[in-house]
Amino acid sequence: MSTFELEEWLADAQRTRPVLLDVREPWEFEACRIAGSQSMPMRGIPARYGELKRDADIVMICHHGARSYQAGMFLEHMGFTSVINLQGGVAAWARDVDPSMPTY
């Protein structure tokens, strides 16, 4: 999913809001994040994925999109039915949607 598609989805009050699952390290999450994101560092997902609803729309987020893609593949393997990767991660979000967001 592109940053523009996610921005449109989040702005649409008629659509159910997705779970924004940020898989970056805690220090990265503290540095910047998309509003409403939930932090679940990638290394902790195998122990914590049970906290998530298997049928929820889950948008996976990381810095550039690679870690979130891998974590999303794991969730799909575990039976999650609507896992979507944010292309370009928070770096693309800061560039395309929210230029005021700090970057690193």
Examine residue 103 and state whether it is found in any structural domain, yes or no.
no
Strands laid side by side in the 19-22 sheet: 38-39, 19-22, 58-61, 83-85
Percent above pLDDT 70 for the chain: 100
Instruction: Please pick, among 21, 40, 62, 94, the residue that the annotation labels catalytic.
Output: 62
Q: What is the CATH number of the domain that holds 62?
A: 3.40.250.10
Query: Does the residue 17 lie in any domain?
Result: yes
Q: What is the pLDDT of residues 17-49, one digit of tens each?
A: 999 999 999 999 999 999 999 999 999 999 999
Summarize the confidence of residues 63-83 as an average pLDDT: 98
pTM score of the predicted model: 0.96
Q: Is 62 a catalytic residue?
A: yes
Average of pLDDT values for 97-103? 97
Q: What is the pLDDT of residue 36?
A: 97
- Our count of domains for the chain comes to 1
Residue 5 pLDDT grade (very low, low, confident, very high; cuts 50, 70, 90)? very high
55: Cβ–Cβ under 8 A, 6 or more apart, which residues? 80, 81, 82
Structural domain includes residue 63: yes
